[in-house]
Amino acid sequence: MSKPRLIIDTDPGHDDAIALILAHHFADVVGITTVAGNTTVENATKNAIRICDLLDVSTPVHSGASAPLVAAPDFASEVHGDDGLGGIQLPEPSRAEASDRAIEFLLDAVEPDLWVVAIGPLTNIAQVLNRDKSWFERVAGLSLMGGTTGGGNVTAAAEFNIYFDPEAADVVFRAGGKTLMSGLNLTHQVQISATELEHVVKSSPESLRTRFIDQNFARIIERLHDLTGSPEVAMHDPCAVLAVTHPDLFEFSPREVKVELTGSHTRGMTVVDERLRVVRDLSKIEVGYGVDAHAVKSLIFEVLYGDVSEPE
């Protein structure tokens, strides 16, 4: 069975880094496009190339939007640091970006079997749809990490990727194309703790790659513990990748989803219509509700650290 073909639209970002590693293992990644979100688009582009260098792959990286469609950018430096990776020391990128024309790349590279996995704000995807409303008809689908059916993480109502550029998210959800939405209600079911990491780290050989992974997890767990008191980190972005490569591990249901743009307390909220109505069957937006967390974590540990068992 051939690997799925993906373009990853990303803003690396701690969990973006994990998602990129998983994507290159389980899929044929034909390109990476970067977007402002967790950090500046310049940092995101450098980080994406650094991660490709770490994996010894030459996936082309195209930089994209440097700011949301309407609002000023509000980066997640309190979680991801000023550079997006919490100051982890990696060699300088071995190459320059392939281009600064991510939108054109996303427009030109599409094929009927190609999935786009968006794990940052949806600014690039919205710009693509503003240029070509038929774009969704020419790709296999869009798998995104964003939104939630419940409470948010950057405000009480909104998840970060949607909140960063709600106008872009509104364009994407209104377009009505085949979309898998891995929101916080799904991704928070896949939590990795410091205790679990300690177990797998002891069982794995040391290398530049595993040192980066160890530091990456350590930085994000430390920052989240300081911010929230939680000793665990959710595998947000990896879920959007694995929803395409391992769909049998996830449960999605069609829903209508709208984005709140004007509420003083709810801007960026994804309003998921869960009323029992026939119109639900017509929606092409599939909202994630269930996941085999044990299986997903086992896959993550196996890819990141080799053939080690997940602790009981």
How far apart, in Å, are the Cα atoms of 76 and each of 18, 31, 40, 89, 274? 17, 24, 10, 19, 30
**Quick one: pLDDT at residue 216?**
72
**Quick one: pLDDT at residue 225?**
67
Annotated catalytic residue within 25, 188, 236, 294? 236
pTM exceeds 0.85: yes
Backbone angles phi, psi at 253, to 5 degrees: -135, 140
Backbone angles phi, psi at 16, to 5 degrees: -60, -40
Cβ neighbours of residue 168 closer than 8 Å, sequence gap 6 or more: 68, 69, 121, 122, 123, 125, 126, 127
Q: Hey, is 118 helix, strand or coil?
A: strand
Determine contact, residues 226/5, Cβ cutoff 8 Å. no
Kindly list the structural domains of the chain, giving each domain's residue range(s) and its CATH number in brackets, ordered by start: 5-305 (3.90.245.10)
Specify the DSSP class assigned to residue 289: E
**Quick one: pLDDT at residue 14?**
86
**Quick one: pLDDT at residue 217?**
78
How far apart, in Å, are the Cα atoms of 10 and each of 3, 15, 16, 124? 20, 10, 7, 10
**Quick one: pLDDT at residue 229?**
79
24 tagged catalytic: no
**Quick one: pLDDT at residue 264?**
93
Tokens 């991801």, located at residue: 80
**Quick one: pLDDT at residue 204?**
66
**Quick one: pLDDT at residue 174?**
96
Q: In whole angstroms, give the CA distance from residue 130 to residue 147.
A: 21
Instruction: Point out the residues of the chain with pLDDT beneath 50.
Output: 278, 311
